[in-house]
Amino acid sequence: MAQSTTDSVRRATTGASNARVATLDRTFKDPGSARHHAAAIKDYVLDHLGELLQQLEANCTSHGIRVHWAVDSASANEIIVGICRSAAPDGAIVAKAKSMATEEIHLNHHLEAAGFTPVETDLGEFIVQIDHDTPSHIVAPIIHKNRFDIAKSFEREKLGPYTEVPEELAMQARGHLRESFKSATIGVSGVNFAVAETGRLVIVENEGNNRLSTTAPRIHIAVMGIEKVLPREADLPLFLRLIAGSATGQRATTYMHGVLAPRRSDEPDGPDEVHLVLLDNGRSAVLHGDYREILRCIRCGACQNTCPVYRQTSGHAYGHVYSGPIGAVLAPALEGITAMGHLAKSSSLCGACEEVCPVQIPIPRMLLQLRDEAFRAGVARDSAPWSVYAFGATHPSTWRAGLKMLPLAEATPVPHPLKSGWGEFRELPHRRGRHFRAWWADRP
Amino acid sequence: MSDRERILSVIGGSTGVALPSPWPGPSLEGALENRFESELKTLGAELVTADRLKELAGASVFADSDVPEPLLRGLVRTEDVWSADLGITLADYGIADTGSLLLTAGPGRNRLASLAPPHHIAVLSRTRILDTAEAAIEVLPSRTAVIVSGPSRTADIEGVIVRGIHGPRRLWVLLTD
Amino acid sequence: MLTCLCDAFFGEVGIAAVRMLEHVGCTVEFNNAQTCCGQPPYNAGDWDSARKIADHAKRVFAGSDAPIVCASASCTAMLREGYALLYPGEPHVQAYELSEFLLTKMNVTEWPLLDPAPKVAFHRSCHGRGIHLGDSAERLLQMAGVQLIEFGATDQCCGFGGAFSVTHPKVSGEIGMEKLNRIRESGATEIVSGDMGCLMHLGGLIEKQNLMLRTRHYAELLAEAIPAKEAKLATPAG
């Protein structure tokens, strides 16, 4: 990774982490107990998921929101493309608000293949789209780019005169994307929280593109992972505070859009149709395994911001829509150990992710369990001869004899378990001072 | 088997985990109106008086049907929300804790009025300033609604905060009795 | 428990830990059959090998009802939490990190002063975070008059991560260099920590880069503060 990219990522993640701590400390007398409370509510949701989804469905339907169930990404894409075909001509613009669920199912690719023109309207996602890039962070998709990269992209796309000033770049994007909102027949968004007791779909954002995408077009399609349901409207304030504070260090996001129904006959504007796509895509199976608590995740990105590995590598190194600590668990949990098990090794197991998580997901424990599962499946095994090590460590005399030979192994070119990866960047460890066992044996 | 049946069958039934009561939320001390004003400023929005609207004479405005007529004097009404310089709406409630506004869709209430124009003025009764988001959620009507906390913003370019990326870059709140 | 890294490279830390425990009146047992806690293969995902080693460790320590103390948060975390995952349903192993044991079990409130008082940067190991050690080692160091120099991003990992340092050596090294750069910016010339993994990794980077930084375990400083004659009186009991 280029140094400038590392610097951008490091600066942004460090800033976000500091803001998170300051805001949560101000918002909650005891942030730890708020996180614990949120985790307990999420555990209730995961335990009662079937009932809550049916309650959500019934309440949405009663307000005129049409509910669709998608067992996997193929099914979700088919449903969404089907809705688009029924309502819009070939080539029609689909205004897209930022949504990890639609990234997960690669919706843009399917819309394009079906002849539609998806336009990402979140500034970061828009830049990702014009650069044919992929997002590298679940909250800040272009954390890996700087203003000069963006200036060149905007010049290439002829969005306005060349400028490196963030305000001017943003206004060029505003002007360009306005036309998409006005001409789109369909808007697609994600869902942050869906309230079972009322059927309200809650979307949080700062830019306003999400509100525009879900208000101006005639049809709004909301795509949500099935775990995003909350029991009660009264649960919203806690989760709104936690997601705003954990994601960007804000006390409240600029907009909390609470969609309850399509435009009613007495309302002057708003979409005529609202569709809710409930996406499973592996989640229901995760519910019954060791990685169940990963479904508490509210996609705030705090674990990415604090992770020392993410800070050095940025999100693209993980090779998946979900990166950082959350991705290292979610990707193999959803897509299987064979395809994604190697990600469990991309962690120093430092535990910072669990410490910052607003819903207390035990990510380090899950990474260890994934490593065990991957090892047993023969995925991403390292070359260290652990069975040989275990033999030594269970035969004390062999162990002691081996330790005596260590200085010899250092001095000679015999294979050494640490020499390959270790030595390129660090000197090999060598004994400092006395040997404990000899000292102990010689004590008077 | 439909997708719905497949998903629900894999999820299965519950084991009886209990639902904790809702998080109680903070309690605020001091005058709500002062707190509301200071939080509003922190967000980059501000309180204005009716006098201040005179500065805007000649601007094109898209307004909710129930905005008091005197507030619109000197402004040019437009029916095209996309070309308006200014949107004026009523706010149902204010939230002192975060300087936020609750706006509800309804008769005469255009959702785009608070969103599409580069300037938004929200008219709020002082008697309708609540303390926290918890209180606002309790009175959330059975309609589509939005809680607005400050002007539209992005930090996507190098973390620099830019206002007005898609929604209004200026947010003014006018308190009425 | 001595721990494998003390056995192989950091014998002085084991010696210092025994002297500290004896200083506060403990009788230390050391079973020569002990080897490793099993964490290296456990972290690498080879839990069968890890269980073999853990079985051995459990057998070795079953011979005594004395509490297990390690001069390592990492090995303590393995005994307490790693074993809980390796052996679901079995009772948790009672193990203590050295500073935690001295403060919470021996109620240590004072320590002989070091003269002259060293100024050091203290790196908290991540496993210490995992088992909620908080500032226990720093408190002991401060009792001995050690001045702790603050540096930026103290909560960040040093990049060691056991198997991670070998499977992802470049990223591991870069994280470590960021830590070292922060410490150097603070003006500190000595890094003190409580885990041999961090010390071995940071020490290897320092040597490779020829940096003017010294690394020590906190037990080495604290044992140095104990009057010499006291050490001569102590006799092995195990």
Residue type, C3: T
Q: What is the pLDDT of residue C237?
A: 46
- Determine what percent of chain B is predicted with pLDDT higher than 70: 100
Do chain A and B touch: 3 or more Cβ pairs under 8 angstroms?
yes
Reported as a pLDDT band with limits 50, 70 and 90, residue A409 is low
Q: What is the pLDDT of residue B58?
A: 94
The answer to whether residue C232 scores a pLDDT higher than 80 is no
A367-382 residue pLDDT tens: 999 999 999 999 977 7
Task: Tell me how crowded residue C113 is: count the other CB atoms within 10 A of its CB.
Answer: 12
The answer to whether residue A173 scores a pLDDT higher than 70 is yes
Q: What is the pLDDT of residue B30?
A: 87
Residue A328 and residue A315 in contact, taking contact as beta carbons nearer than 8 Å: no
Question: Which of the pair, A259 or A404, is modelled with greater confidence?
Answer: A259
C32 near A CB under 8 A: yes
With CB atoms and an 8 Å threshold, state whether C55 touches A418: no
Task: Tell me how crowded residue C7 is: count the other CB atoms within 10 A of its CB.
Answer: 22
- What CA–CA distance (Å, rounded) separates A388 from C227? 43
The answer to whether residue A411 scores a pLDDT higher than 60 is no
Q: What is the pLDDT of residue A408?
A: 64
With CB atoms and an 8 Å threshold, state whether C157 touches A444: no
Reported as a pLDDT band with limits 50, 70 and 90, residue A404 is confident
With CB atoms and an 8 Å threshold, state whether A264 touches B153: no
The answer to whether residue A317 scores a pLDDT higher than 70 is yes
For residues B139-147, average pLDDT: 96
Contact list, A49 vs chain B (CB under 8 Å)? 11
Task: Tell me how crowded residue B68 is: count the other CB atoms within 10 A of its CB.
Answer: 13
- What CA–CA distance (Å, rounded) separates C161 from A422? 12
The answer to whether residue A88 scores a pLDDT higher than 70 is yes
Residue type, A345: K
**Domain range summary for chain B, segments of one domain joined by +:** 30-176
A20-74 residue pLDDT tens: 999 999 999 899 999 999 999 999 999 999 999 999 999 999 999 999 999 999 9
Residue pairs between chains A and B whose CB atoms are closer than 8 Å: 221
Question: Which of the pair, B53 or A84, is modelled with greater confidence?
Answer: A84
The answer to whether residue A253 scores a pLDDT higher than 50 is yes
Reported as a pLDDT band with limits 50, 70 and 90, residue A414 is very low
Q: What dotted CATH number matches B30-176?
A: 3.40.50.10420
Residue C109 and residue C143 in contact, taking contact as beta carbons nearer than 8 Å: yes
Q: What is the pLDDT of residue C231?
A: 55
Nearest to C83 by CA among C73, C92, C74: C92
Q: Give the chain A residue whose CA is nearest to the CA of C217.
A: A432
- What CA–CA distance (Å, rounded) separates B44 from B61? 22
- What CA–CA distance (Å, rounded) separates A84 from A93? 10
The answer to whether residue C235 scores a pLDDT higher than 70 is no
Residue range(s) in chain C whose domain bears CATH number 3.40.50.1860: 119-224
Q: Report the residue from A386, A432, A436 with minimal CB separation from C46.
A: A386
Q: What is the pLDDT of residue A410?
A: 60
The answer to whether residue A2 scores a pLDDT higher than 70 is no
- What CA–CA distance (Å, rounded) separates A404 from A422? 21
A312 near C CB under 8 A: yes
Q: What is the pLDDT of residue C206?
A: 96
Q: What is the pLDDT of residue A405?
A: 79
For residues B124-131, average pLDDT: 97
- What CA–CA distance (Å, rounded) separates A444 from A438? 12
Q: What is the pLDDT of residue C238?
A: 39
* SS3 assignment, position A87: helix
Q: Give the chain A residue whose CA is nearest to the CA of C220.
A: A433
Reported as a pLDDT band with limits 50, 70 and 90, residue A420 is low
Calculate how close chain A gets to B30, using CA atoms only, in Å.
17
For residues A229-241, average pLDDT: 98
Q: Give the chain C residue whose CA is nearest to the CA of A424.
A: C169
C171 near A CB under 8 A: yes
- Determine what percent of chain A is predicted with pLDDT higher than 70: 96
Residue A314 and residue A144 in contact, taking contact as beta carbons nearer than 8 Å: yes
Calculate how close chain A gets to C106, using CA atoms only, in Å.
23
* SS3 assignment, position A56: helix
Q: What is the pLDDT of residue A406?
A: 75
Task: Tell me how crowded residue A406 is: count the other CB atoms within 10 A of its CB.
Answer: 16
- What residue has token string 């525009």? A212
Q: Which chains pack against C, by 3+ Cβ pairs within 8 A?
A: A
Q: What is the pLDDT of residue A140?
A: 92
- Determine what percent of chain A is predicted with pLDDT higher than 90: 87
Of 3.40.1710.10, 3.40.50.1860, 3.40.50.300, 3.10.129.10, the CATH number of C119-224 is 3.40.50.1860
Q: What is the pLDDT of residue B5?
A: 98
For residues A214-230, average pLDDT: 98
Mean model confidence pLDDT for chain B:
95
For residues A294-312, average pLDDT: 96
C118 near A CB under 8 A: no
Nearest to C75 by CA among C54, C60, C55, C89: C54
The answer to whether residue A115 scores a pLDDT higher than 70 is yes
Reported as a pLDDT band with limits 50, 70 and 90, residue A1 is low
Q: Which chains pack against B, by 3+ Cβ pairs within 8 A?
A: A
A396 near C CB under 8 A: yes
The answer to whether residue A413 scores a pLDDT higher than 60 is no
Contacts with A423 (C-beta within 8 Å, 6 or more apart), sequence order: none
For residues A356-370, average pLDDT: 97
Contact list, C71 vs chain A (CB under 8 Å)? none
Calculate ∠ Cα B126-B132-B138, nearest 5°: 95
Reported as a pLDDT band with limits 50, 70 and 90, residue A11 is confident
Q: What is the pLDDT of residue C233?
A: 53
Reported as a pLDDT band with limits 50, 70 and 90, residue A412 is low
Contact list, A75 vs chain B (CB under 8 Å)? 3
The answer to whether residue C84 scores a pLDDT higher than 90 is yes
The answer to whether residue C169 scores a pLDDT higher than 60 is yes
